[in-house]
A and B are shown apart, each in its own frame.
Chain A
Amino acid sequence: MDETSADKARIARQFIEAIPFSRALQMRLDDIGEGVAVISMPWSAALIGDPTRGVVHGGAVSALMDTCGGAAVMSHPQALAGTATIDLRIDYMRPAAQGQRITARAECYQLTRSVAFVRAEAWDEDQSRPVATATGAFTVERAPQTDRGRS
């Protein structure tokens, strides 16, 4: 990672860890850089959506995916550190196990002048089967000097 990327990673980490709703869900930035972000959050009784099985509410998983998607966009080499979600679709494959940490990995796989395309997956401690997958479009501000890869 060159110095600029290291700076961007540091700025992104500070930015993400200062987001009030992400703090309320106790999100932790585990890894970031080059358009990929990994963010996790612990299981908590306050997040339960299905009381009979102690399963975390889909909305909390959405929040994790959304934060992780935004972080992935901000860490993209050709983006500036500002983004907002345009749309986000989540598919829920299975309930996250009670008591287990949920980890999301998002990748900004394509960037145009104004739109960042993101896909993401989330797991509990069983990493062989995802809990949920997501695809989203985010707004993007490009670095003014960068002209590479312009669509």
Chain B
Amino acid sequence: MSAKRPPEPVALIKQRRDRALAALVGSVPYISFLGVSFDRRGDELTAVLRYDDKLIGNPLLPALHGGAIASFLEVTAIMEVSFNMLWDDVEGGRIDVDRLGPETLPRLPKTIDFTVDYLRSGLPRDAYARARVNRQGRRYASVHVEAWQDHRQKLFAQATGHFLMPPRDG
């Protein structure tokens, strides 16, 4: 029986994955403009839209702007697809997180179309979203996103989008 390699220390694994995510998120100015951050559990991402007065679309209600909601959902979908790609490259040893920068980060997928379904008005508080890649091929991906506020089962918006995958080497 050949000697097994000792398992990688958990702190090192977490640090590598968190740094990969931070590099990816940090490369897109619009994400910080919106005030979106990402919580990671393994490869599962939850996007968090921190409430800010500038996100309001109807000051009388008040309610979040439909465009802010659409932006939040589209950002979540793109990051889901991108982080999946980056995860494979980082965990497969093809990309070294210590050298992640504008030159080494994978190109982002391009949105082909995006349809937002506004289910109820967005309340003036934090919002959360998760995306699910329903189908991904070499060229196209189809992604569904769900967003909620107080109750996970009570969505306030959902969206479906199609994305053009960046060309891959090899």
- CB interface residues, B 107-124, toward A, < 8 Å: 107-108, 110-118, 121
Q: Is B132 close to A, CB under 8 A?
A: no
Q: Is the CB of B118 within 8 A of A87?
A: yes
Q: Is the CB of B28 within 8 A of A51?
A: yes
In this complex, how many residues of chain A approach chain B with their Cβ under 8 Å: the count is 38
* Distance from B34 Cβ to chain A, minimum over Cβ atoms (Å): 8
- CB interface residues, A 43-77, toward B, < 8 Å: 45-52, 56-60, 62-67, 70
Q: Which of A23, A49, A70, A89 has the most CB of B within 10 A?
A: A49
Q: Which residues of A contact B112 (CB under 8 A)?
A: 91-92
Taken together as a complex, chains A and B put the C-alpha atoms of A23 and B102 apart, in Å, by 30
Known: A85-B66, A88-B115. A20 touches B55 (CB 8 A): yes
Q: Is the CB of A57 within 8 A of B54?
A: no
Q: Is the CB of B54 within 8 A of A20?
A: yes
Q: Which of A24, A25, A58, A60 has the most CB of B within 10 A?
A: A58
Taken together as a complex, chains A and B put the C-alpha atoms of A138 and B64 apart, in Å, by 16
- CB interface residues, B 91-149, toward A, < 8 Å: 102, 107-108, 110-118, 121
Q: Is the CB of A88 within 8 A of B116?
A: yes
How many A-B pairs have beta carbons closer than 8 Å: the answer is 131
Q: Is the CB of B54 within 8 A of A24?
A: yes
Q: Is B46 close to A, CB under 8 A?
A: no
Q: Is the CB of B116 within 8 A of A62?
A: yes
Taken together as a complex, chains A and B put the C-alpha atoms of A51 and B144 apart, in Å, by 24
Q: Is the CB of A89 within 8 A of B65?
A: no
Q: Is B67 close to A, CB under 8 A?
A: yes
Q: Which residues of A contact B66 (CB under 8 A)?
A: 63, 66, 70, 84-85, 88
Q: Is B9 close to A, CB under 8 A?
A: no
Q: Is the CB of A58 within 8 A of B115?
A: no
One of A18, A62, A85, A91 near B74 (C-beta < 8 A): A62
Q: Is the CB of B71 within 8 A of A62?
A: yes
Q: Is the CB of A20 within 8 A of B113?
A: no
Q: Is B42 close to A, CB under 8 A?
A: no
Q: Which residues of A contact B45 (CB under 8 A)?
A: none
Binary per-residue interface labels of chain B (3-38) against chain A in the complex, 1 for a CB within 8 Å, 0 otherwise: 000000000000000000000000111100110000
Q: Can you list the 3 inter-chain pairs with the closest CB atoms, starting with the nearest?
A: A63-B67, A59-B71, A21-B65
**Measuring CB to CB, which residues of chain B are less than 8 angstroms from any residue of chain A?**
27-30, 33-34, 53-59, 63-68, 70-75, 78, 102, 107-108, 110-118, 121
Known: A46-B33, A90-B115, A91-B113. 7 other contacts (CB 8 A): A23-B54, A49-B108, A57-B28, A62-B67, A62-B71, A62-B114, A92-B110
User: 11 A–B contact pairs at CB < 8 A?
Assistant: A20-B54, A20-B55, A21-B64, A21-B68, A46-B33, A49-B29, A51-B28, A59-B72, A62-B116, A85-B66, A91-B112
